[in-house]
Structure 1
Amino acid sequence: MSKSTTKPPLIKINAVIFIGLPLAALILVPYWGLQHGFDSFQWLWAIAFLYLNGMSITGGYHRLWAHKAYQAHPALKWFFAFWGAGALQNSILIWASDHRRHHRHVDDAEHDPYAASRGLWFSHMGWMLREYESGVPDFSNAKDLQRDPVVMWQHKHYVALTLLMNLGLPILLGVWHGDIIGTLLLVGLLRLVINHHFTFFINSLAHFWGSRPYTESNSARDNGLLAFLTYGEGYHNYHHIFQTDYRNGIRWWQWDPTKWMINLCARVGLAHNLTRVPNFKVQRALLDTQFQRARQKLEQAEDRDTWMDTLEREYLLFTESINQWRELQSERYERTVADLEDAIEERKTALRLKWEQAALRSKLKELEYSMKMQRKRLSLLMQQAQLQTR
């Protein structure tokens, strides 16, 4: 029996939001700007709303609720719930449930809600324009969120909240400023359209454009420009392999204002239990990907057997480093549990524990450095092999 080529029905309200509003912005914003102009007050508030909405999606909807990368104080949850509703990307419950399915079935055209394998347009916004999923929404992967009173309150009152944040607040700002229409067009309409497409870039462009240093098992990519536009979400290859890390940009110089915001919230008591992937695991992912690429390239090199022998020796060193790390981790946690129990009665045990933990940390650092050096040797090996094939 052949598959039906009939397209699912159009979702009219979504078509108005995702097609009608951008068209309105393209026409009305330039027209009003030429006729009446916009001032710095309106531009500054538009940027403020853009960041408040965007970082409530990245820091709240995404890293807090979808991935549970940290825990938040109720005050911070309510902040994200209100400003996230202003981003007009659905309720926390629906957004997070869809996103969890995306991670579980990434690139699977049948089960990934916005699978990049179905094309750039589909993953960017096409998936929201038609009824690709029918029946009652499936929140079986979000039972924890259904127990969260903030999430469920926002889900119940989502329409009222999004109207308040997208119409009510801009109108109040316009009344205060003395220009309701201009403020509504800039702070309400243009800001909303830009925020939508910045977020959609992660579902679409971040699966087509950029590098894959950590894993090639899926289409997600790291892209510094997209990270700048999306409050740090553009380091998408890293995120797809280490999704519970509260950071996306793990280097100090990588633009990730969401990470900095979460870290600041932790310092003032609004966030805790921030998850950080150990650096050794990051180095392991980088090196593992590099080995896969090296094997593919050296298969085609002249004097293939010699190069592959060298590569295998490096891989044995890599395996040995991993085994040492596992042993150190096991030893570290076993000693911590046992010695902390003893330390309750004897302070000397606690002092010895500190020295032993320092020694273990030193060994872990040595292993991390060894893996970095191995990455450099692999790069040099591939360059030499490439020169010989020319």
Structure 2
Amino acid sequence: MKKPAIIWLNVAIFTITFLVAAIAVPYRAYTVGFDMTEILFALLCFIYCGMSITAGYHRLWSHRTYQAHWSLRLIFAIGGAFALQNSILHWSSDHRIHHKHVDDNDIDPYSAKRGFWYSHIGWMCREYQAHRYHDYKNARDLQKDNIVMWQHKYYVALALITNFGIPIAFGLWHGDLINSLLLAGFLRLVLSHHTTFFINSLAHIWGKQTYTDKNTARDNGILALLTFGEGYHNYHHIFENDYRNGIRWWQFDPTKWLIKSCQWLGLTSKLRTAPEDKIEKMRLAMTLKLSKKKLINHPEAEKMLRRLQQEYDNLIARVNDYYQIKRDLLQAKRQQVKSEVENSELLKQYHEMKEKLIAQQRCWQTMTANLV
């Protein structure tokens, strides 16, 4: 089968920027050096580009996990052009197809099952998606957003202005144009590109399948550090409408923190989250599935499997009871005076149910941890 035509512009951009970042930047650092102001400015530009993709392109526009004030949308739209990731409309349309048809080599734009190179960068180097360049019927909602359409119309101009204008302006102000172009221009762009590309490639290869194994997406805390929280990808693929990727307090997800902080400032609203009980049930179901695989060759497999299933059923029953009474308690707090609820029988039942759930979880953790 004949391969699609090479997109020479993309190949040239990826090749030239990478060579400059890999060769010219270290050479300049050795012969001239970079001062802390230049390094910090390049880092700020990298963060701005990355967060514009994660909080803007991804969680706001692709998945509509929250709503944002026009000023914040404008900031993200400009940052997305600075990141040189194509327009919001095109990026989001591709990403929605990816989620709907994940791992389908014939439909998923960057299917991980076609290999690391293809999912990382190869899919952008040839005309694999030519038929989609003007087909945005899966993003009709975004076509009603004036900022999205403004950025789509003037994307090329915005990309040129930001990628050349910002480093040049800083370089002229700071007094070293070459250093600024190398750090805030080339190096920042290469880092922005490849850390984002890691979510399509490495995040479908390296990590744990915490919630589902029905697709190749993985949870990986190291990738989360490089991608502003996007590394918890297995969670994201099963709960794509959640504005969070790292749902635990200790998980690194600055995009989540930004969105939540902006809510306090009145810049974001209607933040969507997945139901807690559904998240827990998906996690437990995956643990059960993995535990059963461990017991395949166990000499007492049948007996152990029965015990495992019974323990799982007991835990699910506790989860259902706990979250039901938690919902009842929240409803009571909305309808009654807070002091009345704090002294109610319902609150006592809630605490009792919570203790029972914790005890059941410990039994389950001990049992699954000791499987060999």
The two structures have a TM-score, normalised by structure 1, of 0.87
Amino acid at match of 1:177: H
**Conserved? CA contact 1:283–1:372, under 8 Å:** no
What is aligned with 1:72? 68
Per mean C-alpha deviation after superposition, the further-off stretch among 268-277 and 51-60 is 268-277
Question: Which of 348, 355, 366 in structure 2 is aligned with 1:380?
Answer: 366
What is aligned with 1:279? 276
What is aligned with 1:51? 47
Structure 1 unaligned residues grouped into runs of 5+: 341-348
Question: Which of 75, 86, 91 in structure 2 is aligned with 1:90?
Answer: 86
Inter-partner Cα distance in structure 1 for 2:356 and 2:107: 40
Q: C-alpha displacement at 1:322, in angstroms? A: 5.7
Does 1:157 find its partner at 2:154?
yes
What is aligned with 1:252? 249
Amino acid at match of 1:311: L
Q: C-alpha displacement at 1:154, in angstroms? A: 0.4
Tell me: CA distance 1:370–1:23, structure 2 relative to 1, closer, same or farther (3 Å): farther
**Conserved? CA contact 2:295–2:301, under 8 Å:** yes
Matches within 5 A, 1:222-301: 222-301=219-298
Tell me: CA distance 1:37–1:107, structure 2 relative to 1, closer, same or farther (3 Å): same
Amino acid at match of 2:52: S
Amino acid at match of 1:313: Q
Q: C-alpha displacement at 1:289, in angstroms? A: 0.7
> What are the Cα deviations for residues 255-280 of structure 1, in whole angstroms up to 9, with x where unaligned?
11111111110111111111122332
Inter-partner Cα distance in structure 1 for 2:357 and 2:236: 21
What is aligned with 2:9? 13
Tell me: CA distance 1:322–1:190, structure 2 relative to 1, closer, same or farther (3 Å): same
> What are the Cα deviations for residues 59-82 of structure 1, in whole angstroms up to 9, with x where unaligned?
111111111111101110001011
Question: Which of 93, 115, 118 in structure 2 is aligned with 1:122?
Answer: 118
**Conserved? CA contact 2:59–2:243, under 8 Å:** yes
Identity of aligned residues (%): 48
Does 1:220 find its partner at 2:198?
no
> What are the Cα deviations for residues 22-68 of structure 1, in whole angstroms up to 9, with x where unaligned?
01222222233333322222111100100001001001111111111
**Conserved? CA contact 1:280–1:368, under 8 Å:** no
The two structures have a TM-score, normalised by structure 2, of 0.91
Q: How many residues align?
A: 371
Inter-partner Cα distance in structure 1 for 2:358 and 2:99: 29
Amino acid at match of 1:94: H
**Conserved? CA contact 2:291–2:371, under 8 Å:** no
Amino acid at match of 1:215: T
Tell me: CA distance 1:90–1:367, structure 2 relative to 1, closer, same or farther (3 Å): farther
**Conserved? CA contact 2:341–2:347, under 8 Å:** no
**Conserved? CA contact 1:73–1:271, under 8 Å:** yes
Per mean C-alpha deviation after superposition, the further-off stretch among 370-379 and 168-177 is 370-379
Amino acid at match of 1:196: H
Per mean C-alpha deviation after superposition, the further-off stretch among 371-380 and 146-155 is 371-380
Tell me: CA distance 1:81–1:194, structure 2 relative to 1, closer, same or farther (3 Å): same
Inter-partner Cα distance in structure 2 for 1:301 and 1:126: 43
Amino acid at match of 1:278: P
Amino acid at match of 2:224: A
> What are the Cα deviations for residues 335-374 of structure 1, in whole angstroms up to 9, with x where unaligned?
78xx98xxxxxxxx64499739x87787677666655544
What is aligned with 1:312? 309
**Conserved? CA contact 2:312–2:364, under 8 Å:** no
Q: C-alpha displacement at 1:384, in angstroms? A: 4.3
